[in-house]
A and B are shown apart, each in its own frame.
Chain A
Amino acid sequence: MEDNKVIEVKGLTKMFGDFTAVSAITFDVKKGEIFGFLGANGAGKTTAMKMLIGISKPTAGEAKVAGFDVASQAEDIKKNIGYMSQKFALYDDLTVRENITFFGGIYGLTRARIKEKTSELVQELGLQDLTDKLVGSLPLGWKQKISFSVSLLHEPKIVFLDEPTGGVDPITRRQFWEMIYKSASKGTTIFVTTHYMDEAEYCDRVSIMVNGKIEALDTPKKMKEQYKAETMNDVFLKLARG
Chain B
Amino acid sequence: MIAHHAPRDAAGIAHHPEDALLLAYASGIADEAASLIVATHLHFCADCRTKAAEMETIGGSLLDDLAPQPLAAGALEATLAKLDLVKPYDRPRRTLSRDGTPGVLRNYLGSDLRDVRWRRMGPRLSYVPLFRRGAVAARLLRGTPGADSGTHSHQGTEYTLVLQGGYSDTTGSYAPGDLQVMEAGQRHNPVADLDEDCINLAVTTGRLKFDSLIQKIAAPLFGF
The answer to whether A and B belong to the same complex is no
User: Which residues of B are at the interface with A, using a C-beta cutoff of 8 A?
Assistant: none
Tell me the A residues contacting B by CB distance below 8 Å: none
